[in-house]
Structure 1
Amino acid sequence: MSLQNSNTQAQRPSHPNPACGSIIDAQGREIEITEDMIRKACEDLEKSRVELAKKA
């Protein structure tokens, strides 16, 4: 049994701050979910909850 050398390198994420997972957009492209995306979603959710609480 022999080991073969491979020129394949680990693929680097397209975004410097990847989280885990991906989503598929309307055009069928795979988009990595990043930490920044998660932070923004959490901030937007928190903001909407605060606005709802003010209305109540």
Structure 2
Amino acid sequence: MSLQTRTENRRVVPLKPEQPVGGAIIDAQGREIPITEGMIQRACRELDRQSHSGSARQS
């Protein structure tokens, strides 16, 4: 069974950008900051951007 087959039947539930997703980070002052959907989306966009600019340099 391929990953593609397994994920075809999954339903994606969109979350509000400010909605916590169940994790937290600790900031420099020791405060617990809930990880939000928006934080994850921004991180994914940044990784995607970096991976595309990195592959262009390696060619």
Given the two structures, how large is their TM-score scaled by the length of structure 1? 0.69
Distance 1:55 1:16 in 2: 35
How much is the aligned-residue C-alpha RMSD, in angstroms? Answer: 1.5
Quote the offset at 1:40 in angstroms.
0.4
Quote the offset at 1:42 in angstroms.
0.5
Gaps (5+ residues) in structure 1? 1-14
| 1:53–1:18 Cα change, 3 Å | same
Whichever of the two has the greater Rg, that structure is 1
Percentage of matched positions with identical amino acids:
45
Quote the offset at 1:46 in angstroms.
0.5
| 1:16–1:39 Cα change, 3 Å | closer
Gaps (5+ residues) in structure 2? 1-16
Given the two structures, how large is their TM-score scaled by the length of structure 2? 0.66
Say which structure is richer in helix. 2
Aligned residues: 42
